[in-house]
Each structure stands twice: as structure tokens, then as C-alpha cells.
Amino acid sequence: MSTPPSGSPSRQGLALLGWLILCFAASLSAVFVSVDGWYASLNKPAWNPPNWVFGPVWSLLYAMMAVAAWLVWRRGGWAVQRRPLALFVAQWLLNAIWTPLFFGMHMLGAAFGEILVLWLAVAATIIAFWRVSRPAAAMLVPYLAWVSFASVLNFTLWQLNR
């Protein structure tokens, strides 16, 4: 069951740009928080990644998320793919909320609960995308893996810093 791509090549290019902007905009929630040495002062496990890892990892994940959403959007746009794209936007919103909870409000326990909901939303998005585009679903698997790792790290940090 193949639905033709939505719109002209220029419309598709603009849509991809829009998905990229949306996905990278999730990182803007960090603008509203001030770490002020707080994260550096936390007790961390030996397996905590160095700070420089997070920027490249998230850049790659946001790019893959955008392409995945775009691939699904191409299969009929919002009119046809409302449910999978709505799930995508919901997980995106949960992604954006985590940073202020964790870094801004220092609510490690609430951030852990929120990241578990994010994990479920990403998993649901992968399932919904799989029904539309297997390559799109596959592009979200590294994101789910990273959120899985981040969940364990979040829980560990919460426990070490009670």
C-alpha cells in the first residue's frame, strides 16, 4: 500500500526543512534553563558520558527524527497520516519538556517519570511509523536506544543525589 509523495519537489523540500526546524527546536528548551555548575556538582556514575558527547548525539538524533517524520508525511501529509504524525509531535513535546524539568528545576524524580512517558511515546511512534514507512521507523530506533540509556542515567543520578 504505497501512497504517492505529498506535493511538488519544492513543497517536499520545504516540508523537510520544516521538520528539521521543529526537531532541532526541541533543544531550545535549554535556553530557558541555567545549569550554573549544578550538573557538574552532581554525583555521577563512572559510565556517565562526557559533556561533549551530548551535542553531536542529539544533533544526529534530531536530524534522523526529522527525516523519519518527513518520510511519513510524504505518504499523504497530515490528512492521511494524522495519527502517526500526532504521536511524533507528542513525543517531541515530551522531549522538549525533559530539559527544563531536569536541568532547570532540578527535579530528577519528576524528570525520570517524564522520560519513561517519553520512552513509551517514542515506542508508540515507532510502531505507528512502521505501518507507514519501515525506513522511517528504523530511523527512530537509535533515538529510542538513547532515551533508554538516558532513562537509566536519569534514574541513577536521581538515586545518587537524593
Query: Is the C-alpha dihedral spanning 5, 144, 131, 96 positive or negative?
Result: negative
HSE at residue 62, side-chain half, CA atoms within 13 A, is 21
pLDDT along the chain (162 residues), means of 10: 66 93 89 77 96 93 98 95 98 95 94 98 98 98 98 98 95
Each residue of 122-160: pLDDT tens digit? 999 999 999 999 999 999 999 999 999 999 999 999 999
Domains in the chain and their CATH numbers? 9-31+54-160 (1.20.1260.100)
Q: How far apart are CA 78 and CA 84, in angstroms?
A: 9
- Kindly report the pTM of this predicted structure: 0.91
